[in-house]
Amino acid sequence: MTTDVVDNANDSTLRVINFAQDTFLKAYSAITSRVPSVLTPSWMLPDPERSREAIERAFDFQAQLLESRKAFALGLLEAGTRASEDDEPKKATAAAKK
């Protein structure tokens, strides 16, 4: 049940974020299509290829970082699970001695 609640919350959050981003992108596109490019000095315009490359590198790094953090979290879970399994025989031995 908790998993369903978290999944639903995550889905709702993604829908809201995507809606906000899509709305902003449509508004930004509408505005930029009405502003003549001759009014913007060339030194203020980003180089699209360099910008795209920088964005790709940044998101590749974030994807690698997210995978690393996921592996770490799963490793912690695994280590904690093994530790509690290792404690079971000790608890049973201690209970038998009493």
User: Domain locations in the chain?
Assistant: 1-42, 46-98
pLDDT for res 94: 62
Q: In this structure, which amino acid lies at residue 78? A: E
What's the mean per-residue pLDDT of the chain? 87
Q: What is the DSSP letter of 46?
A: -
Predicted confidence band at 70 (pLDDT cuts at 50, 70, 90)? very high
At residue 73's C-alpha, the angle toward residues 5 and 84, to 5°, is 95
Query: What digits encode the pLDDT tens for the residues 3-51?
Result: 999 999 999 999 999 999 999 999 999 998 887 777 777 777 788 899 9
pTM of the predicted model as reported, rounded to 2 decimal places: 0.64
Q: Percent of the chain beyond pLDDT 70?
A: 86
**95, two tokens:** 């209970």
- DSSP class of residue 65 equals H
SS3 36: coil
